[in-house]
């Protein structure tokens, strides 16, 4: 039985629009959520997941869309927050027609929402979406795989965190434990090794990626997934799953900094944000440090050269320092400070637009 009150939730968190769609030809079943378009069109990827209920699907979509609003705002982009979830088994539902049907629904929103790839969707799938709409980014031959850019952004974020916590950002002086060596973790480890990190440990559950690391960087030491939290290192670098910072793991952490690419790492922001603060660990807010991929597609959207993405990703460094300062002066945890930072920008730009100015 579905008893989740969508309108109540929309009212509480100020959502703009929730669209349910079903395509009778392909069986495509999905939800698009637009959270906030104050700064610009809502952008967020399309995820395919076999949700256990429609409530679970809409809740996930609502949560992810809101996260995109803060991510874009904090990254200084003129984008709002949105997301699409498609309900189904990704190994069975995919076809050209399925994604073209999605493209037609995206087009029907006339640019209020722009989609991209996400969990279980690829650049190839977005190519089919593009046959029906221009409101799609992350296309083949354009900005390409976002992971290297996300990893580079996280490297700048790690440097900012080292500077803030220890007064010195020289990677060669520090030790790291990286959770996950898939896409972003792999590229980030490459950077750390290149910059002469004192020691890098990694944990992984995919034997293929463990083997790749052994072949390419034998000096990077494998640790069991359950040991990665308690490693005696300077920086814990989550690059795998969400929810990994929780009541069980936070007390184990010996690192003085947590900074990585993974999304939604705090299981419950209101509990685990303060818990990390109390332990004296500096936490780089996930949606700020991992915004490189979004910055990259924004550059694609505007047809700017790739060098612009590289230059903009560097700004993650200063942005994090600003957020750490807000946390310090307001005596709040850093995730909360990041939201203050993002909301301030949305509010300021909104007020700026209150004045009537003839269209350019
Ligand atoms: N790819 C991007 O550009 C991007 C951008 C922003 C945020 N992120 C976030 O970063 C995280 C990683 O993304 P990715 O693209 O590198 O994904 P990925 O799937 O390529 O890599 C994640 C890796 O973590 C490993 N893993 C899973 N459970 C593990 C565990 N318990 N212990 C150790 N390793 C484990 C997986 O085997 C996988 O290799 C995700 O949370 C993602 O949402 C990615």
Is the pLDDT at 1 greater than 60? The verdict is no
Q: Does domain 6-69+79-130 have CATH number 1.20.120.80?
A: no
User: Are residues 289 and 268 in contact, defined by beta-carbon separation less than 8 angstroms?
Assistant: no
Spacing, Cα 194 to ligand 1 middle (Å): 21
- The mean pLDDT value for 108-124 works out to 94
Q: Is the pLDDT of residue 130 over 90?
A: yes
In angstroms, rounded to a whole number, what is the distance separating the alpha carbons of residues 10 and 8? Answer: 5
Listing DSSP states for 223-274 in one string gives --GGGGGG---SEEEE-S-SS-BSTTTGGG---SEE--S-SS-BSSHHHHHH
> What is the C-alpha separation between 290 and 147, in angstroms, rounded?
10
Q: Tell me how far CA of residue 294 lies from CA of 72, 73, 179, 205, 230, in angstroms.
A: 7, 11, 22, 27, 31
Q: Domain segments of the chain: what residues?
A: 6-69+79-130, 147-345
User: Active-site residue among 5, 12, 14, 83?
Assistant: 83
Residue 2 has a pLDDT of 62
pLDDT grade for 106, boundaries at 50, 70 and 90: very high
Residue 331 backbone class (left: φ over 0; alpha: ψ -120 to 50; beta: rest): left
Q: Which protein residue has the closest C-alpha to ligand 1 atom 18?
A: 182
Ligand 1 centroid to Cα of residue 26, in Å, is 30
- pLDDT(169) > 70: yes
Least reliable range by pLDDT among 53-57, 179-183, 355-359: 355-359
Question: Which of ligand 1's atoms lies nearest the C-alpha of 119?
Answer: 43
Q: Is residue 150 in contact with ligand 1, taking CB distance under 6 Å?
A: yes
Cα 138 to averaged position of ligand 1 atoms, centre (Å): 18
What ipTM score was computed for the predicted complex, to two decimals?
Answer: 0.99
Two structure tokens written together for 156: 């700048």
Q: How confident is the model at residue 183 (pLDDT cuts 50, 70, 90)?
A: very high
Residues in contact with 237: Cβ distance below 8 Å, sequence separation at least 6, in sequence order: 154, 158, 176, 177, 178, 179, 185, 188, 258, 259, 260
**pLDDT 10s digits, 269-303:** 999 999 999 999 999 999 999 999 999 999 999 99
The CATH class for the domain spanning 147-345 reads alpha beta
Any ligand 1 atom below 6 A from CB of 249: no
For ligand 1, whether the C-beta of 227 sits within 6 Å is no
Task: Give the number of other Cβ atoms within 10 Å of residue 355's Cβ.
Answer: 6
Choose among 214, 288, 204, 200: nearest CA to 240. 204
225 lines ligand 1 (CB under 6 A): yes
Is 83 catalytic? The answer is: yes
Domains 6-69+79-130 and 147-345 are alike in CATH topology: yes
Share of the chain above pLDDT 90, in %: 91
pTM here is: 0.93
Residue 341 to residues 13, 55, 226, 345: CA-CA distances in angstroms? 17, 31, 34, 7
Nearest CA to ligand 1 atom 25: 180
**What is the CA(288)–ligand 1 centre distance, in A?**
16
> Is the pLDDT at 235 greater than 80, yes or no?
yes
């Amino acid at each position: 039985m579905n008893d989740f009150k969508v309108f109540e939730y929309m009212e509480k968190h100020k959502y703009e629009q929730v669209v349910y769609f079903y395509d009778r030809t392909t069986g495509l079943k999905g939800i698009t959520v637009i959270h906030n378009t104050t700064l610009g069109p809502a952008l967020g990827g399309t995820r395919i997941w076999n949700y256990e209920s429609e409530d679970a699907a809409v809740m996930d979509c609502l949560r992810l869309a809101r996260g995109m609003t803060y991510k874009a705002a904090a990254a200084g982009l003129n984008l709002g927050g949105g997301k699409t979830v498609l309900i189904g088994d990704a190994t069975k539902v995919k076809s050209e027609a399925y994604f073209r049907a999605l493209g037609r629904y995206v087009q029907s929103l006339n640019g209020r929402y722009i989609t991209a790839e996400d969990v279980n969707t690829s650049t190839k799938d977005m190519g089919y979406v593009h046959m029906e709409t221009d409101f799609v980014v992350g296309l083949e031959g354009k900005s390409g795989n976002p992971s290297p850019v996300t990893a580079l952004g996280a490297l700048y974020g790690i440097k900012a965190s080292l500077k803030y916590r220890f007064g010195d950002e020289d990677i060669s002086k520090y030790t790291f434990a990286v959770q996950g060596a898939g896409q972003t973790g792999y590229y980030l480890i490459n950077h750390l090794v290149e910059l002469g990190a004192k020691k890098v440990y990694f944990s992984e559950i995919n034997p293929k990626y463990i083997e790749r690391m052994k072949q390419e960087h034998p000096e990077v030491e494998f640790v069991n997934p359950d040991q990665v939290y308690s490693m005696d290192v300077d920086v814990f670098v989550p690059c795998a799953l969400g929810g990994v910072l929780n009541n069980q793991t936070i007390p184990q952490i010996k690192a003085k900094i947590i900074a990585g690419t993974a999304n939604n790492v705090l299981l419950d922001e209101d509990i685990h944000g303060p818990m990390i603060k109390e332990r004296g660990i500096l936490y780089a807010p996930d949606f700020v440090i991992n915004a490189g991929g979004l910055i990259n597609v924004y550059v694609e959207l505007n047809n700017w050269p790739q060098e612009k993405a590289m230059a903009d990703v560097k700004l993650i460094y200063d942005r994090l320092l600003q957020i750490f300062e807000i946390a310090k002066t307001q005596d709040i945890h850093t995730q909360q400070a990041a939201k203050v930072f993002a909301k301030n920008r949305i509010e300021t730009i909104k007020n700026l637009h209150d004045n009537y100015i003839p269209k350019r």
